[in-house]
DNA sequence: AAAACCATGCATGCGTGCTTGATTGTTCTA
DNA sequence: TAGAACAATCAAGCACGCATGCATGGTTTT
């Protein structure tokens, strides 16, 4: 068994942590097919057998990576600024262009074909999605009791997803900033 | 050479066509890793050697599939209705939830790691993107000379992409329809 | 000392690419 | 127009590379 007892001392947890971080950056840079266990092990600076010890199968490794990514994304969400609405929208969109979202996207798409992963990914993504919505409402100062407000915020998040997807291959920053600025105005008016 | 002379008679072009269609549906259903040449050949009803004849390498097959998907998407775009703005937005978003977009998305993400594909995909996606924008402006009856209008339409297309991405794992139709309805209203006001 | 932790080598499965052989279609010529 | 040479198209088998999984041996912690 891998964790019959919680890892008593930290060296083990350190390598486990490094393996997860390596898995995430590997996903973000080389995609699903390119993220072989040898690659993430090498990137983590450990042997392949060490990886095999912590995560007996490749699927174990990446299901753990899914939860790790979800946790990191939640954490990033809670660090959002809430002073200015324009800045809040920009920061929100930025969350969808970083390596975390890239990794999540690769997992998301890969989970389409892997039955085991799909359950985990859908479940966790639903959780992160709800949290994203909750925090978005908070930093935007939106009044969800008014009709249409909820859908407005959701649409904004969906647009952020779309921008993140577009950023995958070509990082067209200037275009993105213009779109975000305009949509921030639209949202601002709709929430007024 | 595969096409030193254009395929004189149709049996060949028929199987080539079937291979491309099979590649697209395979991508939409099983994703990139699951779309092996054996799988698409079997789905097309031909032998693996036949596929190998038309597309010597797997990469040849899927680069051809990329262009095929781009062409099909362009064709679908030109069939959009332009009578009612609400209906136009809904139809536009629907283009991002069908199997064509699913296939394009898998190609898009897979091209992140495959250097050869990335060029083709980015180039063609840029073309389709411009055409999408042009047609979106047309069916929405938007006046692009007014400031902010261009960015509003682009944001709408990005939102459609994001909705399509969200539809990959869970087809949350009712939520999508509510979001689309609300933003159709907002866009409608913004373009007035 | 025992158990967790890590490293190395081997075996299997799988997908791709290539080669060979058979069949269909096209074209040139008598 | 017949028919034979020739090219295009399709089918089947083989060899290689690669990633995963497992098993063994060494090292560190408790």
Q: What is the pLDDT of residues A123-172, one digit of tens each?
A: 999 999 999 999 999 999 999 999 999 999 999 999 999 999 999 989 99
Question: In this predicted structure, what is the pLDDT of residue A9?
Answer: 66
Q: Which residues contact B135 (CB under 8 A, 6 or more apart)?
A: B77, B78, B80
Q: How far apart are CA B36 and CA B42, in angstroms?
A: 10
- DSSP code of residue A55: S
Q: What is the largest CA-CA distance in chain A?
A: 58
Q: Tell me how close the Cα of B3 comes to any Cα of chain A, in angstroms.
A: 31
Q: How far apart are CA A147 and CA A26, in angstroms?
A: 43
Asked whether B100 and B24 are in contact (CB, 8 A), the reply is yes
Judge: B112–A106 Cβ closer than 8 Å, yes or no: yes
pLDDT score of A7 more than 90? no
Q: How far apart are CA B69 and CA A56, in angstroms?
A: 39
Q: How far apart are CA B180 and CA A9, in angstroms?
A: 52
Question: In this predicted structure, what is the pLDDT of residue B150?
Answer: 97
Question: In this predicted structure, what is the pLDDT of residue B147?
Answer: 95
User: From residue B105, how far is each of A108, B160, B168 by CA, in Å?
Assistant: 11, 13, 9
Rg of chain A on CA atoms, in Å: 19
Judge: B108–A175 Cβ closer than 8 Å, yes or no: no
Q: How far apart are CA B32 and CA B111, in angstroms?
A: 10
- Token representation of residue B119: 């060029």
Give the residue on B whose Cα is nearest the Cα of A190: B186
Question: In this predicted structure, what is the pLDDT of residue A172?
Answer: 93
Q: How far apart are CA B147 and CA A28, in angstroms?
A: 36
- Token representation of residue A44: 């983590």
The residue whose two tokens read 């009044």 is A143
As ranges, strand C nucleotides with an atom below 7 A of a protein CB are 4-9, 14-21, 24-27
Question: In this predicted structure, what is the pLDDT of residue B115?
Answer: 87
Backbone angles phi, psi at A94, to 5 degrees: -60, -30
B55 exposed, middle or buried (CB, 10 Å; 0-12, 13-18, 19+)? buried
Asked whether A84 and A178 are in contact (CB, 8 A), the reply is no
Segments of chain B with pLDDT less than 50? 1-7
Q: Does domain A10-191 have CATH number 2.60.130.10?
A: no
Q: How far apart are CA A89 and CA B124, in angstroms?
A: 30
Domain map (residue ranges) of chain A = 10-191
Tell whether the torsion through CA atoms of B132, B138, B141 and B144 is positive or negative.
positive
Task: Give per-residue burial for A8-30: e unless 16+ CB within 10 Å, then b.
Answer: eeeebeebbebbbbbbbbbbbbb
Question: In this predicted structure, what is the pLDDT of residue B3?
Answer: 35
- Token representation of residue A62: 């990446």
Phi-psi region of A148 (alpha: psi -120 to 50; beta: other; left: phi over 0): left
The pLDDT tens digits of the residues spanning B128-165 come to 999 999 999 999 999 999 999 999 999 999 999 999 99
Judge: A157–B162 Cβ closer than 8 Å, yes or no: yes
Q: What's the CA–C1' distance between A180 and C30, in Å? A: 77
Question: In this predicted structure, what is the pLDDT of residue B2?
Answer: 33
Q: How far apart are CA A42 and CA A22, in angstroms?
A: 9
Q: Which of A109, A4, A13 is nearest to A68 (CA)?
A: A13
B75 exposed, middle or buried (CB, 10 Å; 0-12, 13-18, 19+)? exposed
- DSSP code of residue A98: S
Which of B125, B154, B191 best probes binding to A when mutated, by most A CB atoms within 10 angstroms?
B154
Q: What's the CA–C1' distance between B46 and C23, in Å? A: 14
Q: Which residues contact B46 (CB under 8 A, 6 or more apart)?
A: B15, B18, B19
């Amino acid at each position: 068994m891998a964790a019959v007892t919680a890892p008593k001392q930290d060296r083990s947890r350190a390598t486990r942590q490094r393996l997860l971080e390596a898995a995430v950056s590997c996903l973000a840079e080389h995609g699903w097919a390119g993220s072989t266990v040898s690659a993430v092990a090498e990137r983590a600076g450990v042997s392949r057998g060490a990886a095999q010890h912590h995560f007996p199968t490749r699927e174990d490794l990446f299901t753990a990576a899914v939860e790790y990514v979800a946790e990191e994304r939640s954490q990033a969400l809670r660090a959002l600024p809430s002073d200015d609405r324009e800045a809040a929208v920009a920061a929100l969109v930025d969350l969808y262009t970083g390596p975390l979202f890239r990794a999540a996207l690769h997992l998301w798409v890969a989970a389409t074909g892997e039955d085991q992963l799909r359950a985990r990914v859908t479940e966790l993504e639903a959780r992160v999605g709800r949290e994203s919505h909750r925090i978005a409402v908070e930093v935007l100062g939106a009044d969800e009791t008014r009709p249409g407000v909820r859908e407005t915020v959701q649409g904004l998040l969906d647009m952020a997803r779309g921008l993140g997807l577009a950023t995958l291959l070509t990082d067209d920053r200037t275009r993105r900033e213009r779109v975000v600025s305009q949509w921030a105005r639209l949202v601002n008016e709709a929430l007024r």
